[in-house]
Amino acid sequence: MTLHAFRGSALHYLEDPLTHAEHASEFIEDALLLVEDGKIKALAPYAELRHKLEPSVKLVDYSGKLLMPGFIDLHTHYPQTEIIASYGKQLLDWLNNYTFPTEAKFSDASYAKSIAELFIDELLRNGTTTAMVFATVHKASADAFFEAAAAQNLRMIAGKVLMDRNAPADLCDTAESGYVESAELIEKWHGKQRLSYAVTPRFAPTSTPEQLHSAGQLLQTYPDVYLQSHLAENHDELAWVARLFPKARDYLDAYEQAGLLGSRCVYAHGIHLSESACERLAESATVLAHCPTSNLFLGSGLFDMQRISDAGIRYALGTDVGGGTSFSMFRTLAEAYKIQQLQQHSLHPHQSLYLATLGGARALSLDHLIGNFLPGKEADFIVVDPQATPLLSFRTAQCDSLTEMLFALTTLGDDRLIYATYILGNLAYLQER
């Protein structure tokens, strides 16, 4: 048995602030976080817990800093790390000009390994401890990611991309080979350590109806795997889907007809949706991943959080690297705020930090394991430094409420705010100063 103790301010969420005006969050100014064998044992005011500590337990003192659960990124692409910040295109041209040529390099397992490791380092530097991740069409690219995540015992979800049309030949599989390779990867990785598999049809335009059906069969055969894809991101994409799937009622229906809706299915974007599509997403408990920096960078449109919440659709946040422009969940929250501002809604910092932690865990049906500091949860957490930069130090000193301070952090923050990242109670990243 190993017990670790951490002192600092602590913030976590117990409920959704939208539905629970009171008691959604817990903030303890001077807290003690106890971690036993990688799991949360207790969180309480330092003054209450300190006498219960055996003198032999080593206390790590983060006074002046903020302990929070690790961030959860619902949607990102590790092979696109190297094309982040590529100029001048909207979705379909961006895929053809930047994404596909880059993804072709991942047939090389050693190249895939090097980028998977770099990507995971970048996640940890940014305080992200769980992510749902696209590999490429190559089976070896998924193996490379799972191996890199397993080496650090991370809780990650990933899958090999399925694409059998409208992409370069060297990036295409077939309905059959995609099924077989996905099944092999599921058998190898799903449930191993803290890893889960996501069946990953890239998006409707690059899969034939046969391939989407074979993805549906994978979900039937392996009911506890996830599905990840893209939905209703860009107007040209919508028009293309309408041409490719003339029998579908709308974009969502192309997936629905293949049995690809449900509580373990996560679709990035969902910006341009009809009322009917919203109703069907809500009824099926399907999840949307809102990716603010990507939607702005690719000029895709404005996700209407109020409408999606009111419709009862489950959602949380993704970075969508490399259509997205940052690995940082703080940067993502800053852009999420501005996107809602443009629609006359003010996203509260408690709401956005909830979405980045417990909300993300709930969206992935992982809230029994991660997302907050309740006893028994896995101790993936971050140490946030509100004085990370001269400007942050100056600005946070002016704040006279927690809300103001959190809003300053979510507006100005980036990787510099992440002082340390812990995985199962062990230090996985410490900022060099």
User: Which among 19-27, 156-164, 177-185, 260-268 is the span making contact with Zn ion, rule CB under 5 A?
Assistant: 260-268
Which residue, 25 or 99, has its beta carbon nearer to ligand GUN? 99
Angle value at C-alpha 43, between 22 and 35, nearest 5 degrees = 145
Question: Could you tell me how many residues of this chain bind Zn ion (CB under 5 A)?
Answer: 2
Of ligand GUN, Zn ion, none, which one does residue 163 interact with (CB within 5 to 8 Å by kind)? none
Taking the complex as a whole, the smallest distance from the CB of residue 230 to ligand GUN amounts, in Å, to 4
Which residue, 171 or 417, has its beta carbon nearer to ligand GUN? 171
Taking the complex as a whole, the smallest distance from the CB of residue 238 to ligand GUN amounts, in Å, to 12
User: Which among 206-214, 268-276, 301-309, 396-404 is the span making contact with Zn ion, rule CB under 5 A?
Assistant: 268-276
Q: What is the 3-state secondary structure (H, E, C) of the chain?
A: CCEEEEEEEEEEECCCCCCCCCCCEEEEEEEEEEEECCEEEEEEEHHHHHHHCCCCCCEEEEEEEEEEECEEEEEEEHHHHHHCCCCCCCHHHHHHHHHHHHHHHHHCHHHHHHHHHHHHHHHHHCCEEEEEEECCCCHHHHHHHHHHHHHCCCCEEEECEECCCCCCHHHCCCHHHHHHHHHHHHHHHCCCCCEEEEEEECCHHHCCHHHHHHHHHHHHHCCCCEEEEEECCCHHHHHHHHHHCCCCCCHHHHHHCCCCCCCCEEEEECCCCCHHHHHHHHHHCCEEEECHHHHHHCCCCCCCHHHHHHCCCEEEECCCECCECCCCHHHHHHHHHHHHHCCCCCCCHHHHHHHHCHHHHHHCCCCCCCCCCCCCCECCEEEECCCCCHHHHHHHHHCCCHHHHHHHHHHHCCHHHEEEEEECCEEEEECCC
Which residue, 194 or 269, has its beta carbon nearer to ligand GUN? 269
Taking the complex as a whole, the smallest distance from the CB of residue 228 to Zn ion amounts, in Å, to 9
Applying CB under 5 A, which of residues 164, 250, 320, 335 lies at the interface with Zn ion?
320
Residues 6+ apart with CB under 8 A from 210: 164, 175
User: Which among 21-29, 33-41, 214-222, 319-327 is the span making contact with Zn ion, rule CB under 5 A?
Assistant: 319-327
Taking the complex as a whole, the smallest distance from the CB of residue 111 to ligand GUN amounts, in Å, to 18
Which residue, 143 or 233, has its beta carbon nearer to ligand GUN? 233
Taking the complex as a whole, the smallest distance from the CB of residue 199 to ligand GUN amounts, in Å, to 15
Of Zn ion, ligand GUN, none, which one does residue 360 interact with (CB within 5 to 8 Å by kind)? none
Which residue, 254 or 268, has its beta carbon nearer to Zn ion? 268
Which residue, 29 or 93, has its beta carbon nearer to ligand GUN? 93
From residue 331 to residue 370, the character string flagging contacts with Zn ion as x (rule: CB under 5 A) and all else as - is ----------------------------------------
Taking the complex as a whole, the smallest distance from the CB of residue 290 to ligand GUN amounts, in Å, to 12
Of ligand GUN, Zn ion, none, which one does residue 202 interact with (CB within 5 to 8 Å by kind)? ligand GUN
Is the bond leading into 322 cis (omega within 30 degrees of zero)? yes
Which residue, 102 or 182, has its beta carbon nearer to ligand GUN? 102
Which residue, 281 or 321, has its beta carbon nearer to ligand GUN? 321
Applying CB under 5 A, which of residues 163, 183, 185, 268 lies at the interface with Zn ion?
268
371: Cα separation from own chain's centroid: 12
User: Which among 119-127, 148-156, 314-322, 421-429 is the span making contact with Zn ion, rule CB under 5 A?
Assistant: 314-322
What is the C-alpha separation between 395 and 386, in angstroms, rounded? 9
Taking the complex as a whole, the smallest distance from the CB of residue 294 to ligand GUN amounts, in Å, to 5
Q: Which residue has the tokens 């990688």?
A: 38
What is the C-alpha separation between 34 and 374, in angstroms, rounded? 11
Which residue, 230 or 377, has its beta carbon nearer to ligand GUN? 230
Residues 6+ apart with CB under 8 A from 258: 209, 212, 213, 215, 216
**Site membership for Zn ion, residue 103 (CB under 5 A):** no
Taking the complex as a whole, the smallest distance from the CB of residue 268 to ligand GUN amounts, in Å, to 6
Which residue, 95 or 215, has its beta carbon nearer to ligand GUN? 95
Taking the complex as a whole, the smallest distance from the CB of residue 238 to Zn ion amounts, in Å, to 16
Q: Which positions lie near ligand GUN, rule CB under 6 A? A: 77, 91, 95, 99, 202-203, 230, 233, 294, 320, 323
Residues lying near Zn ion in the complex (CB under 5 A)? 268, 320
